[in-house]
Every structure is written in C-alpha cells, then in structure tokens.
Amino acid sequence: MRPVDAAGKMEPILVALDQILAARRRIAPYLEPTPLQASRTFSRMTGWQVWLKPENLQRTGSFKARGALNAVLRLAEGEGETGGPQAPSRRRGVITASSGNHGQAVAFAAASAGLPATVVVPEQASPAKVAAMEGYGARVVRHGRFPDERKAHARRLAREEGLHYIDSTDDPDVIAGQGTVAVEVLEDLPDVAALVVPVGGGGLISGVAAAVKGMRPGVRVIGVEPVGSAAMHASLQAGRPVTLDQVDSVADGLWCRRPGDLCFAHVRRFVDDIVRVDEAEILAAMALLAERAKLVVEPSGAVSLAAGLARRLPGVAAGRPVAFVLTGGNVALDRYAAWLAEPQRVWSPEG
C-alpha cells in the first residue's frame, strides 16, 4: 500500500528513473542537449569547480521545453490522457497557466505536435514572453497576478472548452521531462558533487532530484529560492505544503505561494537542502553571468549561481565540481538593461 502523510492523505506516487529516461528518448528528436560549461572565474570566486548548465540556450529559452514537450507528446500519442466520459479530447488542444517560460514551452510543444494551445498568463506578463507564445500560435489569456489565480482560471477554461490542462510543475510527465537536465549533467560530469537548482513551484528540482538519486545517490541536490518567494523552504519547515500570504521578488518566474503536493513529496524525499538568496545577490549573479560568461540569464535563472557566489551550499566540500542550472533567459531587454545598472552589486567582476 502507498504510505499516508500526517493528515492521513495518501502520499503521491513519485516519478521513477525509467520515466525520466523514457522522456529523454521521447523529446530527443526535438531538443538538443545544452552544453555544460566550466568557469575558471566563478570557480575562483566561489571555491568550488563551477560548471554552468545554461538552459537559457534551450529551445524557447528555458528548461521548460523539456517537461512541456514530454507531456504534450505523450498526450498526442494517446498515453497522457485520462479516460472517462468527461475526459477532454486531446485534439481540442491543451491549456496551461504560466508567467511566461512554461507557456512558451507548451506553445512550442503543441505546435510541434499539431495541437492548439491556450496559455493563461498574469496581467503583468512580460510582453516579450507573450509575443513568443503568440509566435508559436498560442491563444493568450490574461488573468490575475499570482500562479494560483491563473491556474484556477485555466482549469475552469479547460472544463468549459474540453481542453487538456498541463500544470507547470505538479504533473508527472512535466517532472519527468525536467529530470532530463540531470541525466545530461551526470553523463557529462561523472564526478559532480552537487547540482544547484532554482526553485519556484518545484517541477524542475523534483525531476532533477529523482534522476540524481536514481542514478547517483551520493550526489547532493540543493534548491535555491528567493527570500521573497520561499514557499518550499517554509513548507519543509512545516512538514506539509503551506501557503504564503504574499510573494515578491525580482525573480518573478519563481513566484509561488504554495508548492504542489507532488512536487513537495519529491523535494522532501530527494532534495538535500533548500537555501535562500536575496535580491542584491540575484542581480549581482545575473550581471556577472553577462559580464564574465557572456550569458543572458533572467533573474529566476541566476539564483543558483547567486547561492554559489554567497558560498551557501551546505555539505559540499571546497574544490569539488558543482553544476549550477541556469534555468532561462527570457527577459525584456529594457528591464534587463535596468537591472544591470542597479547599484546593488555586491561582488565586483574581479572578485
């Protein structure tokens, strides 16, 4: 029998390594692996051997293409659709809710599979991200400010229009697709000591951690949240998913008031630590990635390196190889330029 939690609820079924490996085979014809890049500069600044996994160079500009493509392709194959008289027809299309990156990924995946796509975005969504979604042929609907608001609206539209809803994080097919990031890192860097991963809703770190602990259990997995949106950290302390009263961070792609049950279960089981970084640390890491690595990374994608620069990686010995996942680079150029000019630069390029 499946175990139950403290409240008597059945524990979610966790994603298995074979699902992640199957996802890798499924998405391979559509996505190229991203390179793993060594950085002598960041190694000197942090004390670890720093390797960057630049998912900002992935199709659609973020790691989200992996999970969305796996979920949509499984649906198109007839594997990802639940049965029953009220089940949506996969040919009517898919719908999701997203601040930007997942929406672009679902739009791209649906176009690849020949399915219509609808994306519910926040009212303040980045024009650049919205334009990218529409460029892939998606219908974009603006609603609310926070993830739970737009997810509720997307689910309502799914019921009304007979669409298949794909959650941005708490979906086993999405989690399995995101886990392919870790498979690539472990193959490219067999002696890696830790993977450092940004955390929003938790889909990426769930897949990464499931892959790592299935392939190389001794490798540490460390999640990083902004101080202003640390729902996973608070939930782990409480022993259950909790809802924050409010979230606010320059890393808006990581805004999350409550982690999903499935992601929380993965993190509690597989993740070694969750650390937090502040706004100045995030902006400094983003600027240094531009200056020294020549990588355009949005604030949400830079939080992993921010934790390394702050030397906030518990249990990782100095000098060991560490892979930092840079999750995305979809950012409006005017905002990016303003952030680069911010005075809160806590490290100089020379360390």
Q: Is the pLDDT of residue 118 over 70?
A: yes
Residues of the chain with CATH 3.40.50.1100: 17-63+173-340, 64-169
Average pLDDT, the chain: 91
- pTM for the complete prediction? 0.91
Local confidence band at 7 (pLDDT 50, 70, 90 cut-offs)? low
Classify residue 10 by its DSSP letter: B
Q: Is the pLDDT of residue 231 over 60?
A: yes
pLDDT tens track for 211-224: 999 999 999 999 99
Q: Which of 36-50, 60-74, 93-107, 208-222 has the lowest average pLDDT?
A: 93-107
CB 115 within 8 A of CB 164: no
Q: Is the pLDDT of residue 91 over 80?
A: no
Local confidence band at 121 (pLDDT 50, 70, 90 cut-offs)? very high
Q: Is the pLDDT of residue 261 over 50?
A: yes
- Residue 281: the pLDDT is 95
- Residue 85: the pLDDT is 34
- Residue 351: the pLDDT is 37
What mean pLDDT comes out for the span 31-53?
97
DSSP 3-state of 13: coil
The structural architecture, per CATH, of the domain 64-169 is 3-Layer(aba) Sandwich (3.40)
CB 115 within 8 A of CB 187: no
Q: Is the dihedral of CA 156, 160, 161, 164 positive or negative?
A: positive
Strands 321-326 and 194-198: parallel
CATH of domain 17-63+173-340: 3.40.50.1100
Q: Is the dihedral of CA 72, 176, 156, 232 positive or negative?
A: negative
Q: Which ranges in 82-218 belong to alpha helices (H)?
A: 101-113, 127-135, 147-161, 172-178, 180-188, 203-215
Whose tokens are 């000591």? That residue is 193
**In degrees rounded to 5, what are phi and psi of residue 346?**
-85, -10
CB-based contacts of 116: which residues, under 8 Å, 6+ apart? 92, 93, 94, 110, 137, 139
Nearest of 85, 93, 274 to residue 196 by alpha carbon: 274
Local confidence band at 251 (pLDDT 50, 70, 90 cut-offs)? very high
The token pair that represents 334 in the structure block? 């005017």
